[in-house]
Structure 1
Amino acid sequence: AAAFAPAVRDALQHIQCSIISSDPFNPARSDRLFRIILSDFVTLVFFEKLVERISREAPAVSFELLPVDDSPDELLRRGDVDFLILPDMFTSSVHSSVALFDEKLVCVGCPTNKQLPQQLTFERYMSMRHVAVRFGRTMKPSIGEWFLLEHGLKRRVEVA
């Protein structure tokens, strides 16, 4: 019986979401708390722009914004979070998803750095030393680093 527990829990959760909760969502009357996993970048670029509109249209709705986790899909599956707003590299195909926005990757550097020319070529970029950020206990790479690794390229990371 214990072996069936996860499957039964998933089935009950699906039933609750699709049948029992048949009331349409009314943002003006809702006082629901939404738990969302999102990156700091998404918080600044995407979510920050929504807050003003949400406060007008759904004044009692609140949010708990959570940092990127090592297993966000599992938290979503268990119902511990309501949404994931993450780059594809942090999610799996188990849950449906939709692109919310596209963002252009840019290089950030010190304006007094003599090695950083006005027009930065890819070759020059790859020859320079880099600071990198990695996420979670599994040290997932940033989008930029992930993209390079997917293409068989590795930056010279001096600080991570």
Structure 2
Amino acid sequence: MFSSPKILVSTPDACRQVLMDVEGFINGWPKAMVALTGPKSFVAIGYEEHHRLRKLITAPINVFDALTSYLPFIDRTIRSSLKTWSDVSVDAGCEVEFLIELQRMMFKIIVQIFLGCADDATMHATKHNNDHRKKWPYEEARLKVLSGQLGVPRLVGMHGP
């Protein structure tokens, strides 16, 4: 990070100019992330291929009818999670780590939408940890992979002329 010049932008107009420049803007993912996810993953492919694949993957779920069909499941999942959090905090007398539990709940919803099954077996197979007091192992790994050597998040870069 400190071995090459960097430019930081913070105003909305400057951010828009930098982030919307398709030709000059490049992905700034750490090499460890690309090695971990593979050369054909979303973080490693070029803009055109990424855009094409994103449209292909999100088209079936971005229509109104498809999203509406998930509302009952999302409602049940949120209600169930709130009840579980309440029971854990009252019965066990311990605190609930809101961010972790929120991530857990959202993960269940995402698995249901993309894989079509968010039952207990699927959650277990995807390393879903039912212990409400522990952090997910892959959350810790994700944070380590995305951070730089000094623990500073890496910045995306721009190629000059």
TM-score (norm 2): 0.23
Q: Which has the higher helix share?
A: 2
Q: Which has the higher strand share?
A: 1
TM-score (norm 1): 0.23
Q: Relative contact order (alpha carbons < 8 A, sep ≥ 6): 1 or 2 greater?
A: 2
